[in-house]
Every structure is written in C-alpha cells, then in structure tokens.
Amino acid sequence: MTALFVTATILCLLIAIALLRIRINLSYEKNIAVELRILFLRFRLYPKKKKVKIKRYTYKKYRKRLLSQRKKERKRALQQKEAAPSKAKKKRPLKHNIRLYLYVFRKLYARILRHFRMDVAKLHITVATGDAAQTAIATGIVSQTVAYILEILHNHTNFHRTYRTDIAVTPDFLGEKSHAACNITFSLRVCEIIEIGIRFFYHFLIGRMRHQNFSLKQEEKPWQKAN
C-alpha cells in the first residue's frame, strides 16, 4: 500500500508540474517591464534591479584587483589567438544557417501558435497629432488597424479576451504626442515547452543532415559526377 501511495503521489506531482503554466507578463506605460510568473511567484526580468555593493577601497585591494584584471585580459587574448584558426575552419556559411532555421520554423510554427497563449488585459492608445482634423483621421485608421490585428490573432492564434479586457483607442485633440499603454501576458504549459523543445531538436538534426548532404552534392567535382 505504501508503495502504491508513493507512486500515486509522484505521478500526481509530475502531472501537476507538466500542467503548470509559465507566464511572461509584458507591461508598458512609460517604461517597459517584463516579469516571469510561476503560480504566485514573480521574477523581474527587465529592468533588472541594480545591486549596490559597498566596498572598502584600500591601496592593497585596488592593486590586487588591477593585477587580477590584467591576468584575465592576458588569458583572454591567448585563448582568442588559439581559438581563431579553429573557429574559422568550423564556421558554416550564412546561407546554410538561414535555410536550416527556416526549415525548423516551417515545421514548428503551427504547433507554437496553437500552444502559445496570449492574454490581453489592457491596451490603450491615445492618438494626438497637434491638428484636430488629422487626429480624427488618424484615430479612425488606428482603431480599424487594431480591430483587424485582434481579429487575425483571434482566428489564427491562441488569443484570449476576458470581460476584464480593456481595449480603447481615444483621440486627444489638444495634445501633440501620441502615447500607449498595454498589459499582455504570454504563457505556455511545461508539457508544451518540453514537446516543442523535443520537436525542435529532432527537426534541427534532420534539417542539418539534409543540408549537409545537399552542400556535399553541390561541392562535388564534375569528374566525380560522371563516375
């Protein structure tokens, strides 16, 4: 019974972790802020908090730090000199890399769009041009563009709007500068991240093998083709 209970609890924990949704919140009013959210935990990704370190600066410590920096610079210079010829040999042409990543993207983009969830909590755009007539025209263009973009996202992606979603395009006939504010959350489940990662490495390896064979065929000499 104890073994069954332990296995059942482990399975429940694994299922709970697999179904856990990892969220990245993007907000903008005056500055951009990016947060990583896992359940009730929040981690600020941008802008990072500046750590203020209080140190006692003495002549001996300054001299030691200066000597260690010089040693590190010499080591880096030697490593760069040694690694320069090897890197030049291993470097792949840009055309092959672009083809490879395009191949992987074509194989994965539909699945990513299906799993990738986007929740819009707030989208405010205030249009101002300094002229009342131009402001009215620009407001109509911006509001129609926003409506088209939201419709495309709703039809082709995992896009969610709730009753709390606040989307507004307003004119400011007295202002001279337009401004915007948004609060958007992107999320994926852990099992979906694992699935996308496995498929990425699988298609990356297949694509690399195919492109290597293709490049070898192109580099063949004419007398080798005749044989």
* pLDDT attached to residue 100: 83
> Is the pLDDT score of 139 beyond 90?
yes
Contact status, residue 114 vs residue 158, Cβ threshold 8 Å: yes
Is there a single domain that holds both residue 125 and residue 105?
no
* pLDDT attached to residue 59: 64
Of the spans 1-15, 84-98, 133-147, which averages the highest pLDDT?
133-147
Is there a single domain that holds both residue 163 and residue 146?
yes
Asked if residue 22 belongs to a domain, the reply is: no
* pLDDT attached to residue 136: 93
Asked if residue 169 belongs to a domain, the reply is: yes
Instruction: Give the DSSP letter of residue 19.
Output: T
Is there a single domain that holds both residue 150 and residue 179?
yes
For 170, the token pair is: 């307003």
Beta-carbon contacts of residue 25 (< 8 Å; ≥ 6 apart): 33, 34, 35, 36, 37, 183, 184, 185
Is there a single domain that holds both residue 107 and residue 194?
yes
Is there a single domain that holds both residue 193 and residue 100?
yes
Note down the domain range covering 121: 117-185
pLDDT > 70: percent of the chain = 82
Is there a single domain that holds both residue 215 and residue 162?
no
Is there a single domain that holds both residue 157 and residue 107?
no
Asked if residue 82 belongs to a domain, the reply is: no
Asked if residue 127 belongs to a domain, the reply is: yes
Is there a single domain that holds both residue 193 and residue 149?
no
* pLDDT attached to residue 102: 87
* pLDDT attached to residue 207: 85
Per DSSP, the three-state class of 44 is strand
Number of domains in the chain: 2
Asked if residue 136 belongs to a domain, the reply is: yes
